[in-house]
Structure 1
């Protein structure tokens, strides 16, 4: 029933599963028609991606981070206070003002001490630069390989140069093995990202990431079942073309290679703006909305596909606006003071001046003394991102902050 429903809404009227053969001879090789059961292989493939990622990060990414000079921050360790530890595990690790007042009264500490302890406790849970480098390097490798393989498999096709060929003979368009595996690998990879989202570096857009992964999986799966593979492969190729520039820029940012980071970010910005604001709406959306009507009449799958693509384009415009703001600040100010993109790590608001939160001379210091005060908070190294175009894109605080956070 599910398969029939997809075929009814995903293809023009009069076309059903019985009209779609499992295989068909094409030239010297053998191609297939897309069937929903083909997508079942993506789940074990996602598990294989997770296992491969663990091996890659341990054997390749970790030694590479050391070779490139990635350094981790050492945060001020919060004193051992079992009662606050219990509250942190059972409740919110970032208590509200009313909770701070209650804890101060309950444990005989000042609000400043309680607030400082929780801030240090949250900082201890921050992911290290090495961990973030490994995550970025894994995505960089996949996006680079996916883009290279996708380009190699599509550059000789007719629809790569003429988008009208995406609809010639639709929906009975056989799918080549290379394009089938391109689709399956992309879907399996995004499934692996969704399965790992709870253990990956959590950023401020954690919920948006989950929604994005689910929407991407749903879009790829629907376009496969509805046999929109030709235009779907082009859309995936466009997105992969800029993603590996972004991940490589993050890698060099964590390593402190500021010039390489800036160059890669500029390349990412150019490729992103051209592919997402020019090629994607000018060729992809125009083809799905206008050119496709020369080959079939509108049907539910046609409207659903275009609705998803328009939502995607709205996100492109939003991200392009933020990128252009960053580029403007970089060109006219020489730096980016604050990046409002969603790729900030969660809890960046904690990176404030801890110095003023410590007890003043003569105040009750409660369970800990001033030994972890100013001396422990002084740092010999500034944040690498302060002079990098990505700044808060990958981590950290505003460059206006007067107090370093690392030892």
Structure 2
């Protein structure tokens, strides 16, 4: 059964143009081809990248954050309350008005105190500025190195300047050592992002991020196996360019350098629009959709690869929508931070804080059966 599934999955006509087989892509006559077995090491490299990230955050990102003046906000801890904690964990972090009224009666607290307790409790679960800075610093560093390396790998290649050259001689195009390492490191990095997404800062586009990482991994893996190496390198370098600016702008924002951050965000918006909404669809997708049929008849791999590129383009449009919203806030002087992030909520007056700690605390003791520390 497994052998049958394997034979079907690796059927030549799914991956390669008509009249070509995997035997035609065996090393020889001065040609070296990408192999599926090369991809297995990316999972190991992803784990090594996660380990390297921990050292980087501790030894480089944290001292840099302190130098740039990153300061975490002081978060007041909530009063121990079993009733509210159970509601928060098992029912909702954002109670409705009727629920707040019910909790107020059950705990003998005012509705205002209940609302503040939930705001503080939500803030306790939010990542600190230091954590956000370290994450942005790591990504910015990787994207910068990857983009620089990608340009160095591609600058002297004819298909970097003329996308028609992407398909000349396909699929018999030898794999260069520089292409091998560029691909393997990029793929390993996206595996590491997928592995760490649960512990990283959770943003509004969390689901879209998962779709993006999976689409990128599938796209890179498929292009590797089908020897779409040349266009794959173009896709990677186009994506990395705007990510550098975005992550650096986040670092400046977390450090409180608002004016420079806002200016840099406008630069990011411009780079994103040019690379993701112009170059990617009108150069890259045009290259993969129009040019190949001049060299070979369309086959399943041709349609599948283009479908994955379209998925990425749809994500680009979604993120462009968020970016335009943030640009609008910028021009209305309301831009404050990464709009995709889970934002800190403000507490109310100190007067009522004391009420929660003292008077409300004694009322709460009578209402609860037991106390649990956090």
1:354 to 335, 348, 352: 348
In the TM superposition, what whole-angstrom CA distance separates every residue of 1:31-67 from its partner, at most 9, and x where no partner exists?
6312222110111111001000000000000000000
1:16 to 18, 21, 38: 21
Is residue 179–residue 233 contact of structure 2 (8 Å, CA) maintained in 1? yes
CA distance in 1, matches of 2:216, 2:176: 22
Q: Could you tell me how far 1:353 is from its partner in structure 2?
A: 6.1
SS at match of 1:32: coil
Q: CA distance change for structure 1 residues 124 and 297 in 2, over 3 Å: closer, same or farther?
A: same
The aligned counterpart of 1:227 is 227
Q: Which runs of 5+ in 2 are unaligned?
A: 364-374
Q: Which runs of 5+ in 1 are unaligned?
A: 370-407
Between 1:186-195 and 1:89-98, the stretch displaced more is 89-98
Query: Is 1:345 matched up with 2:341?
Result: yes
CA distance in 1, matches of 2:208, 2:328: 26
Query: Is 1:133 matched up with 2:104?
Result: no
The aligned counterpart of 2:204 is 204
Q: Could you tell me how far 1:320 is from its partner in structure 2?
A: 2.9
The aligned counterpart of 1:244 is 244
The aligned counterpart of 1:144 is 144
Q: Could you tell me how far 1:165 is from its partner in structure 2?
A: 1.3
Comparing both structures, which one devotes a greater share of its residues to helix? 2
SS at match of 2:361: coil
Q: CA distance change for structure 1 residues 368 and 215 in 2, over 3 Å: closer, same or farther?
A: farther
The aligned counterpart of 2:164 is 164
In the TM superposition, what whole-angstrom CA distance separates every residue of 1:283-329 from its partner, at most 9, and x where no partner exists?
11111111111101111111111122223223323333443454455
Is residue 173–residue 227 contact of structure 1 (8 Å, CA) maintained in 2? yes
The aligned counterpart of 1:311 is 311
The aligned counterpart of 1:384 is none
Is residue 61–residue 138 contact of structure 1 (8 Å, CA) maintained in 2? yes
Point out which structure has higher relative CO (alpha carbons under 8 A, 6+ apart): 2
CA distance in 2, matches of 1:141, 1:234: 20
Query: Is 1:283 matched up with 2:277?
Result: no
CA distance in 2, matches of 1:326, 1:211: 22
In the TM superposition, what whole-angstrom CA distance separates every residue of 1:6-35 from its partner, at most 9, and x where no partner exists?
4431211232222221x3464xxxx63122
Is residue 115–residue 357 contact of structure 1 (8 Å, CA) maintained in 2? no
CA RMSD of aligned residues (A): 2.7
CA distance in 2, matches of 1:58, 1:51: 11
Is residue 113–residue 357 contact of structure 1 (8 Å, CA) maintained in 2? no
Between 1:247-256 and 1:302-311, the stretch displaced more is 302-311
Q: Could you tell me how far 1:152 is from its partner in structure 2?
A: 0.4
CA distance in 2, matches of 1:69, 1:184: 36
CA distance in 1, matches of 2:7, 2:133: 42
The aligned counterpart of 2:177 is 177
Query: Is 1:274 matched up with 2:274?
Result: yes
CA distance in 1, matches of 2:222, 2:190: 14
The alignment of Structure 1 onto Structure 2 pairs a total of residues equal to 356
CA distance in 2, matches of 1:303, 1:137: 37
Q: CA distance change for structure 1 residues 3 and 136 in 2, over 3 Å: closer, same or farther?
A: farther
CA distance in 2, matches of 1:259, 1:88: 37
CA distance in 1, matches of 2:282, 2:232: 15
The aligned counterpart of 2:259 is 259
Q: If the length of structure 2 is used for normalisation, what is the TM-score?
A: 0.86
